[in-house]
Amino acid sequence: MTTIIRGGTVVNADRAFRADVLCYGDKIVAVGENLEAPHSALVIDAGGQYVMPGGIDTHTHMNLPFMGTVTQDDFFSGTAAGLAGGTTTIMDFVIPAPKQSLLEAYHTWRGWAQKSACDYTFHVAVTWWDDSVHADMGTLVRQHGVNSFKHFMAYKNAIMADDETLVKSFRRSLELGAIPTVHAENGELVFQLQQDLLKQGLTGPSSHPLSRPPAVEAEAANRAIAIAGVLGTPVYIVHVSCAESLDAIARARANGQRVYGEALAGHLVIDDSVYQSEDLEYAAAHVMSPPFRGKHHQAALWHGLQSGNLHTTATDHCTFCAAQKAAGKDDFTKIPNGCGGVEDRMSVVWDAGVNSGKLTPSEFVRVTSTNAAQIFNMYPRKGLIAVGSDADIVVWDPEGRRTIAAASQFAKGGFNVFEGRTVRGIPSTTLAAGNVVFQRGQLMAEQGAGRYIERPAFAPVSAK
Ligand code: URP
Ligand code: ZN
Ligand code: ZN
Ligand code: ZN
C-alpha cells in the first residue's frame, strides 16, 4: 500500500518546510519536493494544509476499572475517537490493585488493549511494594518494553503509594533505566479535607475542588521532586494543573534537575466555575483530579508550555456516563473521577495555542507529539515526519472548523467537557501505520489494527 501526501507543509518540532510525503506499508519512505509515486498510489492533496506527526496522548485510561465501576470507552472506542482527532498513539496505564502482581495486571491490560485501533503503550503503576514488585519491574523493563512507572500520591485506601513505595520504586527505576512518573496530590490531606466537608454537610460536587486545593497538589509535586533529587532520578509529573506545581518544576529545572511536566487540554481551557453549576449532573461530569482551576492557573500552564517547563499535552481520557457519576449524588467523594478528551486535544490545543499566537506550529508538534516520543523513548519512530518513521500522520486543515458536541463525538460517555467550543484547526486526514483511518469526518478505524509499542530502557540516567 503506497500513499503520497502532496503539496502540504511538513511541520516537525525543529522546522516547517514544503514537501510531499511518501508512505509505503507502515513507514514513511521519502520526504521531499515533487516526489515520484507509483500510478497505483493513493494521493492525498494537502494543499494549504500542514502535514504533522500524529498526536501522542501521554495519558489515557481506556477500559479502566476505577472507583467501583469501569470507564465507558474501551480500547477500541477510545482509540478510534483519538484517531478522529489526529492522535495516533496513546500511552495508557496498567494499574494493579494493591497486592496484585504487576505482571499479572500488565498481561490483563495487554489483553484488553488488543482491540485498539491505534498504537498503544503502557506506563505501569506501582501501587504497593514488596520484593515481587522489585522483580516484576525488572521483567517489565527487560522483557516487555516498559520504561515508565506511575505513582499515585492520591487515592488513599485504594491505589495511593506511600513514601516508602515512592522511594523504593524511584530507586529501582533508576537502576533499570526507567522514568518514574507521579500523580501529585497529597492523598492524606485530600482524605481529611473530604471528611471535613462531608461532616459540614457539604456533600455536592462543588466540594470536590475544595478538597483538592492547589497547595495539596504542590506539596506532592515538591515531595516527588525532592525524592527524585535526593535519589538522582528524573521524574515526570502528570496532569500539572496549578501555578504552584509548575513553580516547583521550574525551580527544580533551574537547579539542574531533570523534571518533566504534562498539561491536560482540559486544564488549559476550562476553569473551576463548572463546579458551581446548579445542574449537579453537569458539575459531577467535571469531577476529575486534580480539579479544574481558576483562570490564573490556566495562564500559568500556557506559560509553562511556552517556556519549556511543561513538555507534553495529554487528556487523562477517562469517561464515565451520568449514571456512573450518579454513584456520588449524595457524597461527592464517591463520584468516579475522570473526564474525556482524547478526540479533542489536538484541536483544542491548536485553537487555543496556535490561533492565539502562544505556540508556533512547530511548538505545537513539540508539545503534542515529539517531546512525548523523546521523553518516553519512542523517537524517531514516533513524533517525527522523516524517512524511516512510522507513517502516523495528521493532515491538518488550519481553516477547518468543528463545534465540539457530545452528540456528534465518537467517544462514549455522552458528555464532553469542551461542549459548544468551536475550534479552528482540525484533522482532514489521519493516517495510522500508513492506513487512512479518518478522512473529512469519516472514521475508518479498524478494531485490533493498533500495535503494542515497546519502549526500551534508557541507559541509567541521573537527574544531574
Ligand atoms: O480524575 C482522574 N484524573 N481520573 C483518572 C485517574 C487519574 O487520577 O489519573
Ligand atoms: Zn510476560
Ligand atoms: Zn491522576
Ligand atoms: Zn489519569
On whether residue 252 sits in a domain, the answer given is yes
Closest ligand 1 atom to residue 59 Cα is 9
Contact 391, 23 (CB under 8 A): yes
Residue 455 forms part of a structural domain: no
pLDDT score at 464: 39
Cα dihedral across residues 154, 318, 353, 12: positive or negative: positive
Looking up residue 10, the CATH number of its domain turns out to be: 2.30.40.10
Q: How far apart are CA 402 and CA 400, in angstroms?
A: 7
Burial of 378 (0-12, 13-18, 19+ CB in 10 A): buried
What CATH number is given to the structural domain containing 220?
3.20.20.140
Residue 167 lies in a domain: yes
Q: Where are the alpha helices (DSSP H) in 57-210?
A: 75-84, 102-112, 131-144, 163-176, 187-199, 207-210
Spacing of C-alpha 20 from chain mean position: 29
C-alpha 426 – ligand 3 centre gap (Å): 27
Among all ligands shown, which has an atom nearest to the Cα of 66?
Answer: 1
Q: Is residue 151 part of a domain?
A: yes
Our CA angle for 318, 319, 324, nearest 5°, is 125
Pair (41, 73) in one structural domain = no
- Same-domain check for residues 8 and 74: no
Question: Bridge partners of 236?
Answer: 181, 260
11 shares its domain with 83: no
CA 197–ligand 4 middle distance (angstroms): 24
Provide the b/e sequence for 232-268 (b: ≥16 CB within 10 Å): bbbbbbbbbbbbbbbbbbbebbeeebbbbbbbbbbbb
What pLDDT, in 10s, does the model give residues 281-334? 999 999 999 999 999 999 999 999 999 999 999 999 999 999 999 999 999 999
What angle (nearest 5°) sits at the alpha carbon of residue 380, between those of residues 376 and 386? 150
Q: Give residue 313's region: left, alpha or beta (phi > 0; psi -120 to 50).
A: beta
Contact 402, 362 (CB under 8 A): no
**What's the CA-to-centroid distance between 457 and ligand 2, angstroms?**
16
Q: Is residue 450 part of a domain?
A: no
Q: How many CB atoms lie within 10 A of CB 180?
A: 26
Q: Is residue 364 one of the residues assigned to a domain?
A: yes
DSSP letter assigned to residue 430:
E
Residues 229 and 365 in one domain: yes
Task: Identify the residues whose C-beta falls under 6 Å from ligand 1.
Answer: 61, 183, 288-289, 316, 318, 337-338
Q: Which residues of the chain have pLDDT under 70?
A: 460-464
Residue with the three cell numbers 473530604: 194
Number of domains in the chain: 2
Nearest protein CA to atom 9 of ligand 1, as residue: 316
Helices (H), 125-271: 131-144, 163-176, 187-199, 207-210, 214-231, 243-254, 265-269
Residue 444 DSSP class: -
| pLDDT at residue number 460 | 57
Residue from 58, 61, 417 to probe ligand 1 pocket by mutation (most atoms less than 8 Å from CB): 61
Alpha-carbon distance values, 98 to 91, 233, 297 (Å): 22, 24, 33
**Domain co-membership, 94 together with 184:** yes
Nearest CA residue ID for atom 3, ligand 1: 289
Nearest protein Cα to ligand 1, atom 1: 288
Does residue 460 lie within any of the structural domains?
no
Beta bridge partners of 152: 183
- Say yes or no: 35 and 164 in one domain: no
Domain co-membership, 390 together with 368:
no
Ligand 1 atom having least distance to the Cα of 337:
1
Residues 22 and 60 in one domain: no
pLDDT tens per residue, range 174-189:
999 999 999 999 999 9
Sort 306 into a burial class: Cβ within 10 Å, 0-12 / 13-18 / 19+: middle
Sign of CA dihedral 408, 409, 410, 413: negative
- Looking at the fold, whether 324 and 390 belong to one and the same domain comes out as no
Substitution site in 60, 337, 342, 415 for ligand 1 pocket (most atoms within 8 Å of beta carbon): 337
What pLDDT was estimated at residue 462? 44
- Domain that residue 437 falls in: 2-52+384-398+424-443
